[in-house]
Amino acid sequence: MCLQPSSKHWLYDTTLRDGAQREGLSLSLEDKLRIARQLDRLGIAFIEGGWPGANPKDVQFFWQLREEPLTQAEVVAFCSTRRPRTTAAADPMLQPILAAGTRWVTVFGKSWDLHVTEGLKTTLDENLEMIRDTIQYLRSKDRRVIYDAEHWFDGYKQHPNYALETLKSAIAAGAEWIVLCDTNGGTLPHEITDIVQAVKLQIETWHAPTPVLLGIHTHDDSGTAVANALAAVQAGAQMVQGTMNGYGERCGNANLCTLIPNLQLKLGYACVQTEQLAELTASSRLISEVVNLAPDDHAPFVGLSAFAHKGGIHVSAVQRNPQTYEHIAPEHIGNCRRIVISEQSGLSNVLEKARSFGIDLDKQDPTCRQILQKLKILESEGYQFEGAEASFALLMRQALGQRQQPFELKGFDVHCSTDQGRVSEMLQTNSLATVKVAVNQQEILAAAEGNGPVSALDTALRKALVNFYPVIAEFYLIDYKVRILDGRTGTSAKTRVLVEFSNGHQRWTTVGVSVNIIEASYQAVAEGLEYGLLLQNQLKVALIPASESHLRFR
């Protein structure tokens, strides 16, 4: 890809480097490669792969991509300016950067005199020479350079003349991009606008050896990273740096999943192809899966709840015209509309949810009001169906007389014992569960052990049913949430349990409520297995909607 100055706005992803600095996030080599290829498919122009030489994994990453290049994206190596009191040619830190073989290198340098004197322990003049020498050396090795002006906004606000001198040194040495970094994340949008405009005007007065474009790199410590990036673009920046899902150190970086649709759909800047934009939601969720962090269901644009409608008035209006409560069509970014069922629901919610399950109900049908009334009664008792749509589907079928229960629960017994021996100063607890179920009037008694009562119950129930429904072996429990509904009653409080299952392709959630946490868990697990059979066409009942099952798989 040969970049030329144009009206296009360039996306620069630093998930693999800056994003990986998030607390609790760790990427293997395979993780980094998988994310890079997904970003390439998404149409990201620059993908920062890491700091070659900082660790063996980053060296292997760049080597692997030289063997199997990306389709369209430029892979970028990242490094600092050379060390004080040496030369770029003699600094061993730069040799792995060249060995990475990337066409582009991002170099960061100090803009704030505080960091020069306190961090680098060198002089202001030496810092300017470090910037100039490093970029000139990389240019002499046929590398194109992006210069990240670290702590730019703090430095400019404290000593603008010196901060501008650092940019002048980078441009004179041959940097093609100047990226202004709000490294501490403390700048507000109005300051970003004023400073970017001032820098743009100043750069136009300098005689640069090559055309120079501006970029922006923001952090979210003040909750304004996305707003700051948008302000910078409107003030003249043409590169936007950020991370997928906003991953990053401390409070994170500017979230590309929010920036991209705002830039393209709201402000009209060309960033990616239309079909690539439609992959944004899937990309966000795939990357959250790879990094092993739960997706933010309430994230703008790509969140599971971003286009969810719960209030009855909202649902009724959206059915007539989606623009009444949706700022964009969710399909533009690969998301979809969801109708949420809860005690706040009206008939519109029930009718819309029924249609999504392939059930065509008439508003005048008394069954509609019966379902709504049952829903409100159960939610007043502690059930929550907006997070357990599989349970609501079963409830709805039961009200319609269409629920074909594949098995009947007859009872269960759980015994827990504690060994006297200690392992790492922790007591060993074992659980044994016995369940009785009936399938086609045939009763089955099964027992199983587990590392806890719910694990033992789940295993025993599967053991009892797998001979009748072998596909159950493919179901696995992936999430288990417990909520105490009335803590004032202490250990006798009612408990709500949400259980999430997967078959490797789809995810579904069921709910159970009881004053007995084990009974609530048993209800949810049993309904989860029953609904899983529906998904696998084991019973002739409507499946979960394709759009919903896509969203549950992340």
Helix (H, G, I), strand (E, B) or coil at 302: coil
Of 74, 157, 175, which Cα lies nearest the Cα of 114? 157
Would you call 71 exposed, middle or buried from its count of C-beta atoms within 10 A (0-12, 13-18, 19+)? exposed
Q: CATH number for the domain including 524?
A: 3.30.160.270
Q: Which residue, of 399, 429, 461, is where some domain finishes? A: 399
Cα–Cα distance, 315 to 322 (Å, whole number): 9
The answer as to whether 192 is a domain residue is yes
Q: Is 315 helix (H, G, I), strand (E, B) or coil?
A: helix
SS3 484: strand
The verdict on 365 and 477 lying in the same domain is: no
Q: Can you tell me the distance from the alpha carbon of 521 to that of 458, in angstroms, rounded to the nearest whole number?
A: 9
Contact 144, 106 (CB under 8 A): no
Phi/psi for 490 (5° steps) reads 65, -140
Residue 110 maps to a domain: yes
Tally the domains of the chain: 3
Do 367 and 361 contact (CB within 8 A), yes or no?
yes
Residue 508 has which token pair? 């579904």
- Choosing from 371, 399, 427, the residue where a domain stops is 399
Residue that finishes a domain, picked among 399, 434, 468: 399
For residue 3, what are its two tokens?
């970049």
Q: pLDDT tens per residue, the chain (554 residues)?
A: 444 333 579 999 999 999 999 999 999 998 999 999 999 999 999 999 999 988 899 999 999 999 999 999 999 999 999 999 999 999 999 999 999 999 999 999 999 999 999 999 999 999 999 999 999 999 999 999 999 999 999 999 999 999 999 999 999 999 999 999 999 999 999 999 999 999 999 999 998 888 899 999 999 999 999 999 999 999 999 999 999 999 999 999 999 999 999 999 999 999 999 999 999 998 998 898 788 787 898 999 999 889 877 766 776 787 788 888 889 999 999 998 877 665 555 666 677 667 766 677 777 778 877 877 777 778 777 777 766 778 888 888 888 787 888 999 999 999 988 765 554 555 667 899 999 999 988 999 999 998 888 889 999 999 999 999 999 999 988 888 887 876 566 666 788 888 888 888 788 889 899 988 899 999 999 999 999 998 877 454 333 333 343 333 22
Q: What is the dihedral of CA 52, 53, 54, 58, to 10 degrees?
A: 40
281 domain residue, yes or no: no
Specify whether the CB–CB gap between 243 and 254 falls below 8 A: yes
d(CA 48, CA 427): 47
Whether residues 324 and 446 fall in one domain = no
Contact present, 386 and 310 (Cβ < 8 Å): yes
Give me the DSSP letters along 517-553: HHHHHHHHHHHHHHHHHHHTTSSSSPPPPHHHHHHH-
Q: Domain of 66?
A: 10-272
* Together in a domain, 224 and 329: no
Cβ neighbours of residue 197 closer than 8 Å, sequence gap 6 or more: 235, 236
In the 8-state DSSP scheme, what is residue 1?
Answer: -
Q: Do 147 and 252 share a domain, yes or no?
A: yes
Same domain membership, residue 480 and residue 544? yes
The answer to whether residues 335 and 470 belong to one domain is: no
Residue 230 lies in a domain: yes
Say yes or no: 219 and 81 in one domain.
yes
Q: Are residues 335 and 412 in the same domain?
A: no
DSSP letter for each residue of 170-214: HHHHT-SEEEEEETTS---HHHHHHHHHHHHHHHTTS--SS--EE
52 three-class SS: strand
What's the farthest any 2 CA atoms get from each other in the chain?
88
Give a yes or no: residue 282 inside a domain. no
- Is the separation of the CB atoms in 273 and 316 below 8 Å? no
User: Is 234 inside any structural domain?
Assistant: yes
Query: What whole-number distance in Å separates Cα of residue 297 and Cα of residue 40?
Result: 24
The CATH number of whichever domain residue 33 belongs to comes to 3.20.20.70
- Residues 190 and 222 placed together within one structural domain of the fold: yes
Residue by residue, what is the 3-state secondary structure of 339-401?
Answer: ECCCCCCCHHHHHHHHHHCCCCCCCCCHHHHHHHHHHHHHHHCCCCCCCCHHHHHHHHHHHCC
Same domain (yes/no): 435, 548: yes
In a domain, 278, yes or no: no
Cα separation of 170 and 209, whole Å? 11
Is there a domain that residue 470 lies in?
yes
DSSP-assigned beta bridge partners for residue 415: 432
Domain identity same for 327 and 349? yes
How far apart (Å, rounded) are the C-alpha atoms in residues 411 and 347? Answer: 36
**What letter would DSSP give residue 540?**
S
> What are the strands of the beta sheet with 507-514, ordered from one edge?
476-484, 495-502, 507-514
Same domain membership, residue 336 and residue 219 = no
What is the pairing mode between strands 408-423 and 426-439?
antiparallel
